[in-house]
């Protein structure tokens, strides 16, 4: 077979010890694929609990009342719900089935929250009957909630989602929530006098990953809370949603180098490092490089608990954020999805073929499709770990693209061309690390009638079990 040794910038993933231990045992990996087919999603709740405990430690350090709810939209497995319940933290639900499963698991109603973007009658009824906190997004939803709580004879527990915060002279766009400028009148006109509902607190979830924006949104919400107090409306909590950054990569230099090489490739100054020279957000306009990297920011020095601490210790003219919350006895709630799942899952897929495309690129066909590992941003930028169990010892280093089973030219699992220590052999397994948060479940489809991937959990006793 043809080989190519051109230098491609690597992006070495951070890998938790449970993953390195598991993949160091070829027999186990092979037996999992043999039993459940390819691909499989293998999880562990150990990092999930570690991530929760690290957040909790920071909140305790600032002596804040708090509730952390796992945003389960990021991964559909029930085992994470069970783990959250056993360790005393909550779950944020975004649909009827997500909420129903949590209730069926016997979760404490006070640890559940409903933030679904669309809430129909059945969903609101389920929440009201079970006294689950409902985060109200708009007036129609509030009116329906009031009507249903009157019919059911149960007071609905509600929070109000806010949006449109003012950050450094501009207003943050969102399609969600009630605009902060209209929130006071909304509260006075529709919530203050309504006895079918009990108002508990304010909520927001910001797009993007800015500490500054989150701290300023909390400060603006606190100003609203102070104003509401003049009208005898008290507020129990502020919920800051999710979006706490994680760090996927080992090395800043690799991250910087990758971005430089991508720009060079898009400008034609080096051979492509992505499929069909995809700019991942960069392009050429009139000979000029334009755009920005349109992926998740995979390398971050301030991440998870440090990111949270940076928000809490953020200075405002009236004191740091944590002090403002504590002075008012406001509980801080948060709903991390991706960051609680950091290091909690991998996707394993089997090599089915090797071939060359019409431009001479090595393609490695995997028994999976692109929806089984799909990023909502331009690409998932972590090097996979190729488990060369079957590979021929004397094969040369090479590089190539991983391709999947959908009949699309674009069914390329990762858009980056990947360095390979040797040409993978049929039956080798490719491990895509850190895919539990959004990558494995958010966009999966059953087109071509392929089965969805099986979700497995590695238990403390070393056994692998279905979710």
Ligand X SMILES: Cc1ncc(COP(=O)(O)O)c(C=O)c1O
Interaction site with ligand X (CB under 6 A) = 71, 74, 92, 115, 205, 241-244, 335-339
* 14 vs 205 by CB, closer to ligand X: 205
Of 345, 362, 333, which is closest to residue 424 (Cα–Cα)?
A: 362
* 107 vs 113 by CB, closer to ligand X: 113
Distances (CA, A) of 162 to 12, 200, 218, 240: 38, 14, 11, 10
* Main-chain phi, psi angles of 445, to 5 degrees: -130, 170
Q: Kindly state the smallest distance separating residue 196's Cβ from ligand X, in Å.
A: 24
Of 291, 332, 249, 316, which is closest to residue 60 (Cα–Cα)?
A: 332
Spatial separation of the C-alpha atoms in residues 433 and 84, rounded to whole Å:
22
Of 182, 159, 162, which is closest to residue 172 (Cα–Cα)?
A: 162
* 91 vs 346 by CB, closer to ligand X: 91
State the sign of the Cα–Cα–Cα–Cα dihedral 255, 257, 260, 265.
negative
Residue 448: count other Cβ atoms within 10 Å of its Cβ.
Answer: 9
Q: Which two tokens stand for residue 115?
A: 């933030």
Residue 108, SS3? coil
Eight-state DSSP code of residue 274: B
* Main-chain phi, psi angles of 414, to 5 degrees: -120, 140
Spatial separation of the C-alpha atoms in residues 202 and 224, rounded to whole Å:
10
Q: What is the dihedral of CA 167, 170, 175, 179, to 10 degrees?
A: 70
**Chain centroid to CA 327: how far?**
32
Q: Kindly state the smallest distance separating residue 341's Cβ from ligand X, in Å.
A: 8
Q: Kindly state the smallest distance separating residue 338's Cβ from ligand X, in Å.
A: 4
* 71 vs 187 by CB, closer to ligand X: 71
Q: Kindly state the smallest distance separating residue 123's Cβ from ligand X, in Å.
A: 15
Q: Kindly state the smallest distance separating residue 437's Cβ from ligand X, in Å.
A: 6
- Do 103 and 127 touch, CB atoms closer than 8 A? no
Secondary structure element (H or E) that encloses residue 216, with its range: helix 211-229
Annotated active-site residue in 69, 102, 407, 431: 407
Peptide bond into 395 cis (omega under 30): no
* 20 vs 207 by CB, closer to ligand X: 207
- Do 320 and 314 touch, CB atoms closer than 8 A? yes
Spatial separation of the C-alpha atoms in residues 141 and 148, rounded to whole Å:
11
Residue 407 annotated as catalytic: yes
* 242 vs 279 by CB, closer to ligand X: 242
* Main-chain phi, psi angles of 56, to 5 degrees: -60, -40
Eight-state DSSP code of residue 73: G
Q: Kindly state the smallest distance separating residue 69's Cβ from ligand X, in Å.
A: 8
* Nearest residue to the partner ligand X, using Cβ: 242
Residues whose CB is less than 8 angstroms from the CB of residue 278 and which lie 6 or more positions away in sequence, other chains included: 378, 379, 415
Catalytically annotated residues: 407
């Amino acid at each position: 077979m043809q080989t190519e040794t051109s230098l491609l910038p690597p992006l070495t993933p951070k890998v938790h010890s449970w993953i390195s231990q598991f993949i160091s045992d070829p027999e186990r990996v092979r037996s999992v694929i043999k039993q459940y087919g390819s691909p499989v999603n293998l999880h562990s709740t150990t990092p999930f609990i570690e991530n929760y405990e690290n957040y909790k430690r920071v909140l305790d350090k600032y002596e804040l009342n708090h509730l952390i709810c796992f945003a389960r939209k990021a991964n559909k497995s029930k085992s994470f719900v069970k783990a959250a319940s056993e360790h005393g933290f909550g779950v944020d639900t975004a649909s009827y089935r997500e909420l129903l499963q949590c209730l069926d698991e016997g979760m404490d109603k006070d640890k559940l929250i409903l933030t679904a973007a669309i809430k129909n009658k059945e969903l609101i009824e389920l929440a009201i009957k079970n006294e689950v906190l409902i985060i109200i997004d708009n007036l129609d939803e509030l009116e329906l909630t009031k009507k249903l709580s009157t019919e059911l004879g149960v007071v609905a527990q509600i929070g109000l989602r806010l949006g449109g915060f003012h950050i450094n002279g501009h207003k943050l766009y969102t399609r969600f929530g009630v605009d902060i400028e209209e929130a006071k009148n909304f509260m006075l006109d529709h919530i203050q006098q309504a006895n079918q509902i009990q108002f508990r607190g304010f909520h927001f979830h910001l797009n993007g990953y800015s500490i500054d924006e989150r701290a300023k949104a909390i400060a603006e919400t606190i100003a609203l809370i102070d104003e509401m107090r003049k009208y005898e409306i008290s507020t129990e909590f502020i919920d800051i949603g999710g979006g706490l950054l994680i760090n996927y990569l080992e090395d800043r230099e690799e991250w910087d180098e990758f971005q430089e090489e991508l720009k060079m490739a898009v400008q034609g100054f080096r051979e492509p490092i992505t499929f069909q020279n995809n700019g991942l957000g960069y392009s050429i306009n009139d000979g000029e490089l334009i755009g920005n990297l349109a992926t998740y920011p995979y390398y971050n020095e301030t991440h998870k608990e440090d990111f949270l601490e940076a928000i809490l210790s953020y200075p405002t003219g009236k004191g740091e954020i944590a002090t403002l919350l504590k002075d008012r006895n406001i509980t801080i709630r948060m709903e991390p999805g991706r960051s609680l799942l950091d290091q909690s899952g991998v996707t394993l897929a089997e090599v089915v073929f090797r071939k060359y495309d019409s431009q001479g690129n090595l393609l490695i066909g995997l028994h999976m499709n692109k929806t089984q590992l799909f990023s909502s941003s331009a690409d998932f930028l972590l090097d996979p770990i190729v488990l060369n169990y079957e590979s021929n010892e004397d094969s040369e280093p090479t590089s190539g693209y991983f391709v999947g089973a959908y009949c699309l030219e674009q069914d390329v699992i990762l858009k980056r061309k990947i360095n390979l220590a040797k040409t993978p052999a049929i039956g080798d397994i490719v491990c895509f690390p850190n895919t539990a948060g959004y990558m494995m479940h958010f966009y999966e489809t059953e087109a071509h009638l392929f089965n969805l991937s099986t979700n497995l959990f590695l238990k403390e006793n070393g056994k692998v079990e279905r979710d």
